[in-house]
Amino acid sequence: MNTGFAKSVLYVCVLALGIFLPIIFPAYIGQMTLLWLMVIFALTWDILGGQMGYNSLGNIFFFGVGMYAAAMIQVSMYYDLAEYTSPAGGGIYEFSFSQYFTGMTVGFTVAALVSVVFAIILGRLVFGLRGPYFAIGTLAIATVAGELVSTWELVGGGGGLSLPNFPGEPSGSRTLFYSMMFLLAIATFSFLKWLYSTRFGLAINAIRDDEEKAEGMGIRTLQHKTVAWSISAFFLGIAGAIFGNFNNFIEPLEVAFPTTTFGIFMVLMVLLGGKGTLWGPVIGAVLFHIIKELTWTYLLGWQWVALGVLIVITVVYFQQGIMGWLMEKYPHWFGIRVEGAKQRLSDMMDEAAK
Amino acid sequence: MSDSSIVVDNITKTFGGVVANKDVSLKVKKGGITGLIGPNGSGKTTLFNSIVGHHPIDSGSIKFEDQEISTFRVQQIARLGLLRTFQQTRIYGKMNCVENMLISIPHRKTGFWDMFASRDSETQENADRLLEFVGLYEKRWLRAGDLSFGQQKLLEFAMALMNEPTVLMLDEPTAGINPTLINGLIDRLKRANEEFGITLFVIEHNMRVIMNLADHIYCLAHGQMLAEGKPDEVQNDQRVIDAYLGAH
Amino acid sequence: MLDNILTNIDILIGAPALALDMVVNGLLIGAVFALIAYGLALVWGVMNVKNLAQGDFVILGAYVAWSLFNWGIHPFFGIPVAFGVLWLLGGGLYLFDFENKLASNMSTGRRVLFFAGFCLIGGLLGMTIVDNGNYSVLASVPDTFFIGILIAVFFVFLVFGGIYGFVIRKVIERDLFTSLLATFGVAIVMQQSMNLIFGSDEQTVSLGMESISMLNNNVTIQPTRLVAFLCAIVLAIAVVMFMKRSRMGQAIRATSQNARAARIMGIDTEKVYAFTFSLNAAICGAAGALVAVIWEFQPFIGLIFSIRSFVVVTAAGLGNLPGVIAAGLGMGVLEQTGAFVIGTQYQQAIVVGMLVIVLLIKLVIASRKRQVIDT
């Protein structure tokens, strides 16, 4: 079968599912919004973790930064932020239709930019760390960020803050945020598909395989690492901004910087699907989300234990992931072949026949 | 402009109490093939590492094309056009040979946005040509990590050529290579030197290879420069023979 | 908040006796940190595994001591019991190689069959011995059936190698991140299980001793801390003597220097690894019994202990025992002072902040070299 044709069928199927599933099952639209968020998590984690070999445990930091940046902009464009978040305030804050959407547009843009700026600054620091120190260092950054925001009274501290209410029917808001998350996931996927086909993709793969060699060959490793992290931060920042509005309420430890839930999920999803591939994170995210929902429903109380066991099993016994397993089993599907081997074999057969 | 490409002047490098290089000086002639020999542990690889910026040196100076590089880092030096291969071959194991080649383009000639350049046919053809040159064309879609040691060595050599360096430093290019391939490799090294005009600086244990290849040879022993000269001079130098046979 | 910090610093400068109190108390708790960090450094150095479940081993040890205390057993006996329990969990039984003795000739299919049968027996036993009247999973089967199965699975898990045999053994040779993530998974399983079994309330074991005051009541020493300090020292000395003198200790040190060479010289490195890991778990368990006496604890506080030991080991460097002890004691003093100056509610932030600072110092030192190489 023609692989190009198979691929286009696949893309059309995914698009069709993304568009029609929420229409057929409107009750699950929130779940599906989360599913696309998981896909974005996995895809952005894989840029560093899979393609570049830098296993970050703190990518969730940018998610929280984007969320808070957008929230602050959206509120402070029309009201005094300190008053808005003060526990004594209790005023009624209305956002008109145009205020809501202008705020959101500006907020999302700022969220993306602030995340990227943070990525560039922090990149200077953390990319000096290697191996486990990088993982621990990034984890520390996300944790510290959560703790710091908890003490920041302007944004409501540990109590969090509510975002502007959607000016319209609640079902309209659900459709809106679903479409946003869906489009962002598609955009992330397409961008990464393009990115991995360029020289940049090769360069970060080179860094993964042997960073010292890459330096020795003159690749600007720090520049590549910082850009890779910034791309990750860009999409995560927007995802955070959307999720904050979707959730309508944000708070530092559980929603914005959840290092032990979302922060670990993104790693696990990529490992499950197969790191260093384009489709692996997507497959991993879908599978993980299904497993997670099933355990949350049927193993109530024990779901976290089940999650821990899933982490251990995936990491210890199935680290190559689904795509990695396929690659081992069917290498020719992925273009690994010896040119002319068949030809030579048939030549030998011909000779033997003579 | 001198006619020397690399000028090493009196460099000393110690690791803790161990003196790896003591007051070593040498010159690598532009456009030539310079050899570096010496018994095991005489400090050859340390000297290489010092030149390419792998570790700081204690004293002395290293000049590359009249520019002091002894405080530069690996990447800066690589981007000047001074490249090295490793004794323990290093390639990008999970990428296929073509990808290994495509990412070994001369990065010193690229700007920021070239990072996102898509694959162009010119680079592709260049990569194919060089893979053909080292005899790996048929295996080009295999993962580099799945190649045999000797083939990885050839791939590393091809990657170095792809980088279009002005000087290429090779650390034991024939170690671990099937003897029947060695002649081919010598031939290719010479051709690289003549056709591409790349200055070569080679560490080698195999005397037959280095005598055939180099036009000037330095011999290190116990971290110090023992002898230098034309291949036949070095070959007949009593001190060199003593050093190799272990007489002190 | 900044005002608070400045006032507190003023108080500290104004009252040297108070500062002395901080230092003394800090040193006392620091000994426990050093003990835990020593275990981490041991595993890290010998098998290159960064154990993120370190703190959860400690908390499990604390719960063991607490359970015994609730049954009326003095916490001092909790120390050896916690040591033993954690030794089993860590993989102490892997040394006896039950897999070869019991199941070497069995095909995978038969193994699965035996395992399923064993679990079923466990479940039936649980069901017949206790019926607590709960039917939350399936309407017709009491919950004790499932608990019985879980206990049977856990028994098999322990006999065939514990955490070492099922997790650590498989990640030793792999890249560093794998061991980090695998032990993180173990940590989640442990803390959540403890949460389900013991509940999420804060617990402590009280020895019921009066605190000792000195220097006009400015320096207050809780006897529990003093006792814990002495126990930690005794334990540390015992472990160090063991590492220096015993056959196994020498094998461990040889393996940590060059595992391949040790293997060639006939050392069974597999057993050395198993022993090292279970010894570390046991040390953590004993330290946990001390933690139970000193602090209040709950199932989720383990991560802080893990981060503390990471900070200590990173600051001290591997294979540097005096360094680990000094850094552990220093950590205690810093944390005690930090808690006073910034506020006790920021304890977690202080620990993580220290980690960031230690990493930054490492970075600065590395960047002064011509080339950054660190793994």
State whether A125 and C174 contact (CB < 8 Å): no
In a domain, B30, yes or no: yes
Q: Say what percent of chain C tops pLDDT 70.
A: 92
Mark whether B32 and B104 lie in a shared domain: no
Residue A347 pLDDT exceeds 60: no
For residue B113, the distance in angstroms to the closest alpha carbon of chain A comes to: 10
Closest residue of chain C to A57, computed from CA coordinates: C181
Task: Give me the phi and psi of B9, to 5 degrees please.
Answer: -125, 110
Are residues C182 and A304, on separate chains, in Cβ contact within 8 Å? Answer: no
Let me know whether B169 and B248 are in one domain: yes
Residue of A nearest to C173 (CA): A316
pLDDT of A348 reads: 52
As a whole number of angstroms, the distance between CA C292 and CA C304 comes to 15
C114 in a structural domain: no
Contact across the interface for A140 and C178, Cβ inside 8 Å: no
Is pLDDT at A121 greater than 90 in this prediction? yes
Quick one: CA torsion of C82, C84, C88, C89, rounded to 10 degrees? Answer: 10
Q: Is residue B86 included in any domain, yes or no?
A: no
Q: Whose CA is closest to A289, among A12, A33, A16, A13?
A: A33
Q: Is the pLDDT of residue B247 over 70?
A: no
Residue B1 scores a pLDDT above 80 = no
Amino acid B181: pLDDT: 78
Lowest mean pLDDT among B25-29, B76-80, C217-221: C217-221
Closest residue in B to A198 (Cα) is: B118
- pLDDT exceeding 90 applies to what percent of chain B? 9
C-alpha separations of C276 from A284, C87, C223, C258, C372 in Å: 35, 10, 32, 15, 31
- What the block records as the tokens of B25 is 């000086």
State pLDDT tens for residues B86-127: 878 889 988 989 999 999 888 888 888 888 888 888 889 999
C189–A302 CB contact, under 8 Å: no
Confidence band, pLDDT 50/70/90 cuts, at residue C368: low
Q: Are residues B186 and B138 in the same domain?
A: no
Judge whether C179 and A131 are in contact, CB under 8 Å. no
CB contact under 8 A, C371 and B71: no
Q: Average per-residue pLDDT in chain C?
A: 83
Nearest to B144 by CA among B85, B185, B90, B91: B91
Q: How far is B32 from chain C (nearest CA, A)?
A: 29
Instruction: Tell whether the model's pLDDT for residue A349 goes beyond 70.
Output: no
With beta carbons less than 8 A apart as the criterion, state whether A209 and A144 touch.
Answer: no
Give residue A1's pLDDT: 46
Partners of C141 in the β-ladder? C138
Domain with B62 in it: what CATH number? 3.40.50.300
Cβ contact A218–B83 (<8 Å): yes
Instruction: Quote the minimal CA–CA distance from B82 to chain C in Å.
Output: 17
Task: Indicate the average pLDDT of chain A.
Answer: 85
Categorize the per-residue pLDDT at C319 as very low, low, confident or very high, splitting at 50, 70 and 90.
low
Per-residue pLDDT of A34-64, as tens digits, reads 999 999 999 999 999 889 989 888 899 999 9
Q: Nearest-CA distance from B34 to chain A in Å?
A: 21
Sign of CA dihedral A231, C375, B153, B106: positive
B75 touches chain A (CB under 8 A): yes
Q: Is C35 part of a structural domain of the chain?
A: yes
Predicted complex ipTM? 0.85
Q: Is the CB of residue C146 less than 8 Å away from at least one CB of chain A?
A: no
Instruction: Give the burial class of C321: count Cβ atoms within 10 A of its Cβ; 0-12 exposed, 13-18 middle, 19 or more buried.
Output: middle
On chain A, the residues whose CB falls within 8 A of the CB of B106 are 218
| Amino acid occupying residue B233 | E
B199, β-bridge pairs: B167
Give pLDDT tens digits for B208-218: 888 888 889 99
Q: How far lies A225's CA from each of A52, A150, A248, B22, B215, in Å?
A: 8, 30, 34, 38, 42
Whether chain C has a CB inside 8 Å of the CB on A308: the answer is yes
Burial C221-248 (b: 16+ CB within 10 A, else e): bbebbbbbbebbeebbeebeeebeeeeb
Report, as an integer, the average pLDDT of A197-225. 90
The pLDDT value given to residue C216: 65
Structural domains in chain B (count): 2
Do the Cβ atoms of A129 and C362 come within 8 Å? yes
Residue B90 contacts C where some CB pair is shorter than 8 Å? no
Enumerate the β-bridge partners of residue B7. Answer: B27, B63
Identify the weakest region by mean pLDDT among A268-282, A332-346, C91-105, C234-248.
Answer: A332-346
Assess B86–C contact: CB distance below 8 Å, yes or no: no
- The Cα–Cα gap between C132 and C5 comes to 53
Tens digit of pLDDT for each residue in C271-290? Answer: 889 999 999 999 999 999 98
Task: List Cβ<8 Å contacts ≥24 apart for B10-13.
Answer: B10/B59, B10/B60, B10/B61, B11/B47, B11/B50, B11/B57, B11/B58, B11/B59, B11/B60, B11/B61, B11/B62, B11/B70, B12/B57, B12/B58, B12/B59, B12/B60, B13/B43, B13/B46, B13/B47, B13/B50, B13/B55, B13/B57, B13/B58
Q: Hey, are the CB atoms on B115 and A276 less than 8 Å from each other? A: no
Q: Which of B110, B142, B164 is the endpoint of a domain?
A: B164
Residue C367 pLDDT: 65
Are residue B184 and residue B74 in the same domain, yes or no? yes
C139 token code pair? 């309407």
- Summarised one tens digit per residue, pLDDT across range B149-158 is 888 888 998 9
* Owner of token pair 């126990």: C231
* Alpha carbon distance A267, A274 (integer Å): 11
Q: Are residues B191 and B76 in the same domain?
A: yes
Of C188, C192, C363, which has the smallest distance from its Cβ to A128's Cβ? C363
- Contacting B residues, span 117-176, partner chain A, CB-CB under 8 Å: 117-119, 137-143, 159, 163
Q: Distance between CA C29 and CA B121 in Å, rounded? A: 66
Among chain C, residues having any CB pair with chain B shorter than 8 Å are 369-371
Chain A positions in Cβ-Cβ contact with residue B115 (cut-off 8 Å): 198-200, 203, 223-224, 227
Contacts of B138 in chain A (CB under 8 A): 338-341
Paired strand residues for B216: B34
Distance, CA of A200 to CA of C283 (rounded, Å) = 48
Comparing C-alpha atoms, which of A244, A234, A242 is closest to residue A191? Answer: A234
Residue B87 lies in a domain: no
Is residue A113 a part of any domain in this protein?
A: yes
Give the chain A residue whose CA is nearest to the CA of C187.
A308
| Residue whose pair of structure tokens reads 């005794």 in the numeric block | C234
Residue in A closest to B123 by C-alpha? A199
Q: And the tokens for A218?
A: 């003159």
B93: burial class by Cβ within 10 Å (0-12, 13-18, 19+)? Answer: middle
- For residue A319, give how far its alpha carbon lies from the nearest alpha carbon of chain C (Å): 9
Residue from B82, B123, B141, B151 whose CB has the most chain A CBs within 10 Å, to mutate: B141
Alpha helices in B135-235 (DSSP H): 149-162, 179-195, 207-213, 231-235
Give CA angle at B86 (B80, B88), nearest 5°: 165
Please give the tally of structural domains in chain A. 1
User: Which residues in chain B have Cβ-Cβ distances shorter than 8 Å to C370?
Assistant: 53-56, 71, 73
* Cα→Cα distances A29→A26, A176, A221, B26, Å: 5, 11, 42, 72
Do the domain assignments include residue A51?
yes
Q: What is the DSSP string of C313-349?
A: HHHH-TT-HHHHHHHHHHHHHHHHHHHHHH-GGGHHH
Asked whether the predicted pLDDT for residue C374 surpasses 50, the reply is no
- What's the CA gap between C125 and C141, in Å, rounded? 13
Nearest CA of chain C to the CA of B202: how many Å? 23
Residue B26 within any structural domain of the chain:
yes
> Using the beta-carbon criterion (under 8 Å), do A302 and C196 form an inter-chain contact?
yes
In the predicted structure, residue C347 carries a pLDDT above the cut 80: no
Contact between C369 and B53 using a beta-carbon 8 Å cutoff: no
Coarse DSSP helix, strand, coil percentages of chain B, rounded to the nearest 5 percent: 40, 25, 35
- CA–CA separation, A279 vs A193, rounded Å? 10
Q: Does A147 sit within 8 Å of C192, measured CB to CB?
A: no
**Percentage of residues of chain B with pLDDT beyond 70:** 98
Q: Is residue A226 part of a domain?
A: yes
Question: Is the pLDDT at A328 greater than 70, yes or no?
Answer: yes
Q: Report if residue A167 sits inside a domain.
A: yes
Average pLDDT for A238-250: 92
**A279 domain residue, yes or no:** no
Interface check for A152 against chain C (CB to CB < 8 A): the answer is no
* Strand order from edge to edge, sheet including B224-229: B82-84, B167-171, B199-203, B33-37, B216-221, B224-229
Chain B contacts of A321, Cβ < 8 Å? none
Is the CB of B141 less than 8 angstroms away from the CB of A198? Answer: no
B59 is written with which tokens? Answer: 């004293």
How far, in Å, CA of B234 to CA of C35, rounded? 60
* Domain interval for residue A198: 28-258
First and final C-alpha spacing in chain B? 40
3-state secondary structure of C212: strand
How many alpha carbons fall within 13 Å on the CB side of residue B111?
A: 1
The answer to whether residues B153 and B174 belong to one domain is no
Residue of A nearest to C175 (CA): A131
Q: Assess whether B29 and B39 both reside in one domain.
A: yes
Instruction: Quote the crossing angle between the two packed helices C302-316 and C347-368, to the nearest 10°.
Output: 20
Short-list B115, B140, B114, CA closest to B126: B140
Q: Chain B: give the shortest CA distance to residue A216, in Å.
A: 6
**Domain limits for position C262:** 2-89+204-351
- C188, C195, C300: which to substitute to probe chain A, counting the most A Cβ within 10 Å? C188
Q: From CA C181, how far away is CA A45, in angstroms rounded?
A: 15
Q: Which of B135, B164, B193 is the last residue of a domain?
A: B164
Of C166, C170, C356, the CB nearest to A140: C356
Name the domain boundary from B138, B164, B190: B164
Taking residue C15's Cβ as centre, other Cβ atoms within 10 Å add up to 12
CB C281 within 8 A of CB C186: no
Contact A339 B143 (CB under 8 A): no
Please give the residue range of the domain that contains residue B213.
1-81+165-248
* SS (HEC) of B17-69: CEEEEEEEEEEEECCCEEEEECCCCCCHHHHHHHHHCCCCCCEEEEEECCEEC
Judge whether residue B132 has pLDDT over 80. yes
Q: Residue C373: which pLDDT band, with cuts at 50, 70 and 90?
A: very low
Contact residues, chain C, for A263 at CB < 8 Å: none
